[in-house]
Amino acid sequence: MTALARHRVAIGIAAIVLVLLGGGGFVAWTVAKRDDARASAAPPVQGGLLFVDLESYDGQVDQVALADPGGKRTPTALRCQRVYVAAGTTVCLRLAGIGPSYEAAVLDADGEVLRTVALPGTPSRARVSQSGKVVSWTTFVTGDSYSVPGGFSTRTGVLDLASGTLVESLETFRSTVGGQVMTAADINFWGVTVAQDDRTFYATMATAGRTWLMKGDLVARTMADVRQTAECPSLSPDGTKVAYKKRTSRTGPWRLAVADLRTNAETVIEGTTGIDDQATWLDGDTLAYAATNGDEKRSSIYEVRADGSTAPKVLITAAASPVPVR
């Protein structure tokens, strides 16, 4: 027997101890090298642009002045994977425990938590209606098993703060395409945007590999199709236009498009390839969205005019989930 074989167990245990020490050291070093010199948190202010800072990995929500997006980043007290603010109401989709679990936390203008709703999966989209009264979100539910081929589905919830009514999933609504009620079990919904009346809404419906822009009624609990191949709608502040991402081919990348709801005319905006976001309106003519381009490791926030008259420009790098504070 060689010395190696004789001391096999001792060498093995020593190697395990080394790996544990090395791993522990790596974790400590990674955490220690982070720049933790965060200034004291400031609440969101009018004219600010909130976003999730992707540099920090902990969902730090920062704020810049919309007039000067390249300027100073001020941290807020929020830590979210997805965030949206309107009329003083904030929705923050965040981790809630090692369960594994997530929650949608709804906060008032003072940062007090009004309500939390447990979520079934990884946060994807979040919205608050212009009045601040209706909150919605979308999560991705994935199979936790080795053996699920590409298994995923989405759950989209809507919470009416005025009545306290919670819709856990839009699947419970009556949905029609061309007048036909949809009953297939593989239907998924995502990306809600609610109109000024806090009752009308738009959302994406998908089944059998196709998507539709749906127009719905939160009171009657119904939805009907508006047009095909449109995802993650976002209503303009005056409610006349809707921006959405549109697949250019069946599995190709998305581009940003804007449709006029009165004339149904669609404008696909050039240069927006790489978008994967529910766009947000900065004002009546300008959109902001997150996109990952080329070999970037993290998405950046872009700004583009809704009529497509200018090329998109980068507002903030390594960031996602843009939302203007107004």
**Contacting another protein within 77-136 (CB under 8 A):** 81, 95, 97-101, 117-124
Nearer to another protein, 207 or 229 (CB): 207
Q: Does 13 bind another protein (CB under 8 A)?
A: yes
Tell me, rounded to whole angstroms, the distance of Cα 168 from its chain centroid.
Answer: 17
The only residue of 74, 76, 91, 155 in contact with another protein, by rule CB under 8 A: 155
| 64, 135, 320, 323: residue in contact with another protein (rule CB under 8 A) | 320
Strand partners, 135: 128, 159
To another protein, the closest distance from the beta carbon of 18 in angstroms equals 9
Among 56, 131, 200, 286, binds another protein (CB under 8 A): 56
Among 43, 108, 114, 168, binds another protein (CB under 8 A): 168
Q: Which of 130, 131, 207, 222 binds another protein (CB under 8 A)?
A: 207
User: Hey, which residues between 208 and 227 contact another protein (CB under 8 A)?
Assistant: 208
Smallest separation, CB 174 to another protein (Å)? 14
Q: Residue 100 and residue 163: Cα distance in Å, rounded?
A: 30
- If you search the block for the tokens 């404008």, which residue do you land on? 267
Cβ of residue 155: shortest distance to another protein, in angstroms? Answer: 5
Distance CA 305, CA 283 (A): 10
Determine the Cα–Cα distance for residues 152 and 143; give it in Å rounded to an integer. 6
Closest alpha carbon to 123 in 156, 167, 169: 156
Q: Which residue has the tokens 């939805």?
A: 223
Q: Which listed range, 23-31, 173-181, 214-222, 261-269, lies at the site for another protein (CB under 8 A)?
A: 23-31
- Where does residue 222 rank: exposed (0-12), middle (13-18), buried (19+ CB within 10 A)? middle
Strand (E) or helix (H) holding 158: strand 152-160
Single out the residue of 140, 142, 130, 135 nearest to residue 117, CA to CA: 135
Contact pick of 130, 229, 286, 292 for another protein (by CB under 8 A): 292
Q: How far is the CB of 160 from another protein (least distance, A)?
A: 18
Q: Residue count at the site for another protein (CB under 8 A)?
A: 73
* Binding segment toward another protein, per CB under 8 A, in 36-44, 55-63, 69-77, 213-221: 55-63
CA distance 292 to 300: 6
Residue 19 is a binding residue for another protein (CB under 8 A): yes
The number of residues in the chain equals 326
Residue 127 C-beta: closest distance to another protein, Å: 17
Give the CA count within 13 Å in the CB-facing half-sphere of 192.
34
**Min separation Cβ 72 and another protein, Å:** 23
- Distance of closest approach, residue 293 Cβ to another protein, in angstroms: 9
CA-based nearest residue to 218, from 197, 244, 232: 197
Cβ at position 171, least distance to another protein in Å: 8
